Amino acid sequence: MTDGPLIVQSDKTVLLEVDHPQADAARRAVAAFADLERAPEHIHTYRITPLGLWNARAAGFDAEYVVDTLLNHSRFPVPHSLLVDIAETMSRYGRLRLEKDPVHGLVLRSQEEGILSEVLHAKTLTSLLGPQIDDTTVAVHGQARGELKQQLLRLGWPAEDLAGFVDGTAHPIELRQDGWALRGYQQEAVDNFWQAGSGVVVLPCGAGKTLVGAAAMATSGTITLILVNSTVSARQWKAELIKRTSLTEEEIGEYSGARKEVRPVTIATYQVLASRKNELFTHLELLNGHDWGLIIYDEVHLLPAPIFRMTADLQARRRLGLTATLIREDGREREVFSLIGPKRYDTPWKQMEAQGWIAPATCIEVRTDLPRGLRMDYAAAPDKERHRIAAGAEVKDDVVARLVNRHRYLGEQVLVIGQFVEQLERLGEQLGPRC
């Protein structure tokens, strides 16, 4: 125990005192295994989850690193039960491995008979597994690679996928670094991803995730499918690829509501692939109808459910997820972990800000009381509805208006971001056409 900047709580939350002289060192260390939940002005809140710990294991961090970080930076004694839980949780990653066997094809292997026995008795896995080969090995049905990883994760046994990837159809792509060069962290992100073959790169907004994708494409040198959240994003990707790589406009196709172009590099929107006609996803065949060597998921935290289902069948393809956050509103971070891959690179935005790579930002939390009339509604509502009640409380409108007017007076631009359309429409009417 030291006079450190962290307060580690038994509910697995970690509080970081931002103004502490050791705060930056603690932030960098904790970011490897905990998720940032809130970042107001003085105290940042992180949460330790099984998924965060397994992501850390996939990135090469062990339980000793996590425990030492908490003990060395904590101001008060760390709950012993939490340390034991961390060690046990992290020990579960990689004790089951998916491998390619020269005789039996895809197999699930463990050096511990007890773990494999537990897996073989799980009813959810019965249809995914073939005959048992020996005490530590069982055959896996060829198309069950993704579904098996999902189910194993739900059982608390995240498998390490070492079964390899197909090369895909070759297509030469080169970076044209004329007057610019990949930043060190961008190259490190590409190297970490490529060494593993699948996974997620987490970088703050403005840190150049598109360039990481372009560099991965150049490393792959194959036909590539890029999935994006909107037509605007698709065209931004195309412009950036033409500017930064050897690809020409004719080599890049857009697959959206407006166009249906399939070319060596195809940029498709989630919306069009997830669209249904007569209960059929008519465009999802694009995902497995070509010999892609690389699939890039931009803003991977926004993946719709149909893309998850198809991605379960694409486990032999190299998959790169790009995002500024792995937190999803629907709680399906586990799907990203099992189907796209573990987190392969992550840099805290404060660290990048200190290095001058992104613009500085100051986060200030303003708390308001829930009006008396809404308190009973909030108390009786289910969790999802509670969030909507609290987020949309009209008492916040006056606070927003005062903040906007203050910055308008200073001649500064103001961007108001909200989660619910009705709240934004209400604020728009109140603030007027200038906002």
Strand 43-48 to 294-298 pairing: unpaired
Asked if residue 252 lies in contact with residue 242, where contact means CB atoms within 8 angstroms, the answer is: yes
Instruction: Report DSSP state, residue 251.
Output: G
Asked if residue 75 lies in contact with residue 1, where contact means CB atoms within 8 angstroms, the answer is: yes
Between 190 and 257, name the one with better pLDDT: 190
Residues pairing with 95 in the sheet: none
Half-sphere exposure of 250 (CA within 13 A, CB side): 0
pLDDT tens readout for residues 223-235: 999 999 999 999 9
Q: Is residue 279 over pLDDT 70?
A: no
Question: How does 342-365 read in b/e, with b if 16+ C-beta sit within 10 Å?
Answer: bbbbbbbbbbbeeeebbeeeeeee
Domains plus CATH for the chain? 6-91 (no CATH), 97-161 (no CATH), 184-354 (3.40.50.300), 372-431 (no CATH)
Rg of the chain in Å (alpha carbons): 24
Asked if residue 146 lies in contact with residue 314, where contact means CB atoms within 8 angstroms, the answer is: yes
Asked if residue 217 lies in contact with residue 294, where contact means CB atoms within 8 angstroms, the answer is: yes
Number of other residues whose CB lies within 10 A of the CB of residue 161: 23
What residues contact 162, with CB distance under 8 A and at least 6 apart? 97, 98, 99
Asked if residue 56 lies in contact with residue 32, where contact means CB atoms within 8 angstroms, the answer is: yes
Phi first, then psi, for residue 35 (nearest 5°) are: -100, 135
CA distance 157 to 332: 17
Q: Is residue 153 over pLDDT 60?
A: yes
Instruction: Report DSSP state, residue 154.
Output: H
Using the structure block, give the residue that is written with the tokens 């007569």: 278
Between 364 and 279, name the one with better pLDDT: 364
CA distance 422 to 250: 42
The per-residue pLDDT for 51 is: 93
Half-sphere exposure of 304 (CA within 13 A, CB side): 15
What residues contact 202, with CB distance under 8 A and at least 6 apart? 323, 324, 325, 326, 343, 345, 346, 347
Distance from the first to the final alpha carbon of the chain: 49
CA distance 161 to 303: 21
Asked if residue 197 lies in contact with residue 340, where contact means CB atoms within 8 angstroms, the answer is: no
pLDDT tens readout for residues 108-148: 999 888 999 999 999 999 999 999 999 999 999 988 999 99
Asked if residue 320 lies in contact with residue 213, where contact means CB atoms within 8 angstroms, the answer is: yes
Asked if residue 241 lies in contact with residue 247, where contact means CB atoms within 8 angstroms, the answer is: yes
pLDDT band at 433 (very low <50, low <70, confident <90, very high): low
The per-residue pLDDT for 359 is: 80
Rounded to 5°, angle at Cα 301 from 62 and 207:
80
Transcribe 78-109 into DSSP letters: PPHHHHHHHHHHHHTTTSSEEEEETTTEEEEE
Rounded to 5°, angle at Cα 362 from 75 and 303:
90
The per-residue pLDDT for 247 is: 97
pLDDT tens readout for residues 12-55: 999 999 889 998 899 889 989 998 888 777 889 999 999 999 99
Number of other residues whose CB lies within 10 A of the CB of residue 311: 24
CA distances to 9, 265, 346 from 30, in Å: 14, 38, 11
Predicted model pTM: 0.85
Asked if residue 343 lies in contact with residue 319, where contact means CB atoms within 8 angstroms, the answer is: no
pLDDT tens readout for residues 323-339: 988 877 777 889 999 99
Q: Is residue 88 over pLDDT 80?
A: yes
pLDDT tens readout for residues 44-70: 999 999 999 999 999 899 999 999 999
